[in-house]
Structure 1
Amino acid sequence: MKKAVIVNAKRTVIGKKNGMLRDYPPEKLASYVIRNLVKDIDEPVDDIVFGNAVGPGGNIARLSALESGQPYQTPGITIDRQCGSGLEAIRLACHLIQGGAGDIFIAGGVESTSTSPFKCRARFSPEHIGDPDMGIAAENVAEKYGITREMQDEFARLSYMRAYASLSKGYFSDELVQIEGIPMRDEGLKPNLNYERMLKRVPPSFKKNGTVTAGNSCGINDGAAAVLVMSEEKARELNVKPVLRFVDSTVIGTDPNFPATGPIPAVSNILAKNNLSVEDIDLIEINEAFAVKVALFSRTFSISYDKINPEGGAIALGHPYGASGAILVTRLFHEVKRYFPDLMLSAIGIGGGLGIAILWERIS
């Protein structure tokens, strides 16, 4: 069986809804990332796999391939696993390589909430089971598992501080592609804002006397991210240096009323499949749609925040739904070069009650 490796990973800046990327439809955002990933390889891409959640519908991956100037022969497939779509795209590309379906793939995700034609979200679950909006669902988890506002604000503050430190050190510049006329800085991060004061003052967003606030939740955002995936043999043939090797993946369902719990069974499953314990994992990138998700995950596995999102995450930077899973892997790709972890996880919890986890190993 072939082994899939990540040889490059890039993203656009993350913009706020109706913010600096408001005039860029999803295929345009994706095209900047695709062009950057293929510029140094002379061989054709076998397929482009992109995730997308809020429209406009159609095959955005193929549209993006054409928009980016790829040959007509380069196909594209668009998948929707809601906010896990970008991670699912990478998962699928890795398994396609394992199965011998090709040697070079671009996989990732894109979202333009600013240009989405849909006023309301799609249904996540039948009403007779329960189909809460994500904010209420986060409140459900906080109440059921006793995750206090103080616990959520503690992690949110960490996300902001880490993201600001990473910005100051120039870490994000490694990840970013240039869009002409757009600053090379994520729009949601405001270095001059007193986040400590903001977290204390902001009221609950979804429920009276609730614990989930605009401060300890992600924003609504635009952006794109993708990785260049190859078989290990092809990377050697092209003399390209791989950084991450795909080990295994899992996807699992959970109660749609508590979607923030999704990463817990997904990570439990992948650890058991590979005879690992959480102590064997050196670094985890998990989507911070809500701080309650990360606080519960950390407590369940008795894992320190030191191993989770060391350079900040979606609370500080934003959550462009279809792209977020690919942003996790892009961040991991560049963090590996700084921290030298051996085993890593990327994981995401999804509306409708789903969890995805991918296990990676560093290629030394």
Structure 2
Amino acid sequence: MAEAYLVGGARTPVGRYGGALATVRPDDLAALVVGEVVRRADIDPGLIEEIIFGAATQAGEDNRNVARMAGLLAGLPDHVPGITVNRLCASGMSAITMAAQAIRAGDADLMIAGGVESMTRAPWVQAKPERPWAKPGAQFDTSIGWRFVNPKLAARDKATFSMSETAEEVARLDGITRLEADAFALRSHQRAAAAIDAGHFVDEIVGVPTQKGEVLVDEGLRRDTTLEGLAALRPIVAGGSVVTAGNASSLNDGSSAILVASGEAVKKYGLTPRARVVVGASVGLAPEIMGLGPVVATQRALERSGLDIADLGAIELNEAFATQSIACIRRLGLDEEIVNRDGGAIALGHPLGSSGARLVVTLLARMERENAGHGLATMCIGVGQGSALILERV
């Protein structure tokens, strides 16, 4: 079986909802990182055999296969195909896993995988009436959350919890307090601030041209965050006590991509691999405890790889919520010092389709900087799933 290698990656800065990237279309964000990955690898773009991109919304400017649009907009030859996948929060990670699987199967040698989301530009959608000339149906914001819920699913207890409700459920199950959640959020901002000041993200990021100038830095960080300020925020869920806007990730815009290559392509084109894909895993679990998805996914990935938790030198865990992040760290017995050392989604942001690929781009840099032999990227997924990807530095 062929091996799959990650040659290099690039990402945009993560923009706030309605922030610096609000005027940039998601297909343009995707095209930017696709083109940058090709440029950094210094390869003929015509050699790319497929673009696989994740996107969670796909209801607006990212419609009709944004992966294909990204390739065309990036100037790749018309013969380079593209496919868009959707696993909600883990869409970008699934794109990378699928590319690695294709290469291992011998179906391709060079692929670009990643993800994109503009939660700012995600449109409103409205149900069409079932009868001609009837009044318009319900309207929904596609930025996040449920829409057009199937009544049969809604009838299942807790199955259609909001994301915040699932985070409260995990806090209740694992006895996580408001103070613990707020302290975790504060640390995310502190670590992200230190990473930005140290220039840790500079090589990951490709600047995004906008009407107001080039955007080069992640926008979500709040340097003035304090425990006192976090404690003053009201819970999001009615009757809840732990989850607030301060200890949860935000709505964001961004895109990330990685070049995935076979060993043969690495040799033939003189590429420099940064990591080997060891294994990827995705799992399902009860929707109301979706935040625990990384626990099950990581356990499955470790079992398949023959590795142990102690073998992992760097871990990127998507911080959808502080409560579920804390629960995953405790249940897996992770060393907190190697989890999200440069901060996580609570500080940096969570542009849904991009986040899984962003984790991997950041993990590659961390593994090199911290001399980690193996690394893990893992995340929870709405409606009760989890994904994990284990890499080996080469």
Same fold (TM over 0.5): yes
Q: Give the CA deviation at 1:122.
A: 4.2
SS in 2 for 1:258: helix
Question: What's 1:44 paired with?
Answer: 47
Q: For 1:1-364, what aligned pairs fall within 5 Å after superposition?
A: 1-39=1-39, 40-42=42-44, 43-55=46-58, 56=60, 57-118=63-124, 119-120=141-142, 121-122=145-146, 126-129=153-156, 130-180=159-209, 181-191=213-223, 193-363=224-394
Rounded to whole Å, the distance in 1 between the matches of 2:217 and 2:229 is 21
5+ long unaligned stretches in structure 2: 125-140
Rounded to whole Å, the distance in 1 between the matches of 2:191 and 2:327 is 20
The residue type equivalent to 2:56 in the other structure is A
SS in 2 for 1:155: helix
Greater Cα shift, 147-156 or 73-82: 147-156
Q: Give the CA deviation at 1:182.
A: 2.8
Rounded to whole Å, the distance in 1 between the matches of 2:5 and 2:86 is 23
Q: Give the CA deviation at 1:214.
A: 1.1
Structure 1 residue ranges (4+ consecutive) displaced by more than 6 angstroms after TM superposition: none
- Contact 2:52–2:112 (8 Å) recurs in 1: yes
Rounded to whole Å, the distance in 2 between the matches of 1:279 and 1:150 is 28
Rounded to whole Å, the distance in 1 between the matches of 2:16 and 2:180 is 26
- Contact 2:258–2:357 (8 Å) recurs in 1: yes
Question: What's 2:137 paired with?
Answer: none
Rounded to whole Å, the distance in 2 between the matches of 1:171 and 1:85 is 25
- Contact 2:313–2:367 (8 Å) recurs in 1: no
SS in 2 for 1:279: helix
Q: What do residues 50-101 of structure 1 show as CA deviations (whole Å, max 9, x unaligned)?
A: 0001122320100111111111111100000001100000000000100111
Rounded to whole Å, the distance in 2 between the matches of 1:333 and 1:304 is 19
SS in 2 for 1:241: coil
Q: Give the CA deviation at 1:209.
A: 4.5
5+ long unaligned stretches in structure 1: none
Rounded to whole Å, the distance in 2 between the matches of 1:209 and 1:111 is 29
Normalised TM-score (structure 2): 0.89
SS in 2 for 1:246: strand
- Contact 1:136–1:207 (8 Å) recurs in 2: no
Rounded to whole Å, the distance in 2 between the matches of 1:151 and 1:184 is 32
The residue type equivalent to 2:68 in the other structure is R
- Contact 1:59–1:76 (8 Å) recurs in 2: yes
- Contact 2:316–2:340 (8 Å) recurs in 1: yes
- Contact 2:204–2:361 (8 Å) recurs in 1: yes
Rounded to whole Å, the distance in 1 between the matches of 2:332 and 2:385 is 18
In the alignment of these two chains, the number of paired residues is 362
Q: Give the CA deviation at 1:162.
A: 0.7
Greater Cα shift, 215-224 or 126-135: 126-135
Q: Give the CA deviation at 1:277.
A: 2.1
Normalised TM-score (structure 1): 0.96
Rounded to whole Å, the distance in 1 between the matches of 2:348 and 2:237 is 21
% same residue: 37
Aligned Cα RMSD in Å? 1.4
